[in-house]
Amino acid sequence: MDKKQQLKDLHENWSEKCKCELKKTATQPVPGDGNPEAEIVFIGEAPGKQEDLQGRPFVGAAGKFFNEMLGGIKMRREDIYITNIVKYRPPNNRDPEPAEKEDCIKWLYEELNLINPKLIVFLGRHSMMYFFPTEKISDVHGKLLVKKFKNIKTKHFLPLYHPAAALYNGSMRETLINDFKKIPLILKKIKSIQG
């Protein structure tokens, strides 16, 4: 069975067994999307309105900006994989609760381990803080973090500001675009270490 089919089965399986309370209010689950062989996985926070309607992550305004930034580093959505910590839209786009993250985290771990990317990029503080609870995004954005976790194979992480936050804040937008440009260089560095 190829990875694409394995991923499809994984999402079908988890959309059945996930116990997240947000299931009751969301239109549908929003599993990760993209290349199952990707070297980079981007992790956001939770689906928004458009994502909830279309069943795909990052398809709203933040997603359009994300696609532009990908283009800026000569990549497309087909090259990467993108997902969220929480797979269901919180009502009125509120922040996901800790219990909601816990209910969806095994789904995320399985996605990450199946794809086994060289680099995981956090889009925003919520996804970063799940893995690095003591870090502040204002201190570590655009900096490579290396840490071994027991639940996932990947150990290289890059925190970035969330594209949605950058849409409304000009200086943050500039910072995010500049941080985004570091991705190909960081990936090259990881590959040279791993050989």
CB contact set of 12 (below 8 Å; sequence gap of 6+): none
Is the pTM for the entire model greater than 0.95? yes
Question: 93 or 145, which is more confident?
Answer: 145
Distances (CA, A) of 95 to 16, 53, 104, 113: 23, 18, 14, 26
Length of the chain measured in residues = 195
Using an 8 Å Cβ cutoff, are 181 and 160 in contact?
Answer: no
Instruction: Report the chain's mean pLDDT, rounded to a whole number.
Output: 95
pLDDT tens-digit map of 50-89: 999 999 999 999 999 999 999 999 999 999 999 999 999 9
Superfamily of domain 3-194, CATH level 4: Uracil-DNA glycosylase-like domain (3.40.470.10)
User: Rounded to whole angstroms, how far apart are CA atoms 1 and 154?
Assistant: 23
Domain assignments of the chain as residue spans, ordered by start? 3-194
- For the chain, give the longest Cα–Cα distance: 46
Tokens of 182: 């570091």
Check whether 195 has a pLDDT greater than 70. no
User: Rounded to whole angstroms, how far apart are CA atoms 47 and 176?
Assistant: 20
Is the Cα torsion angle 99, 126, 159, 115 positive or negative in sign?
Answer: positive
Check whether 111 has a pLDDT greater than 80. yes
CB atoms within 10 A of CB 37: 13
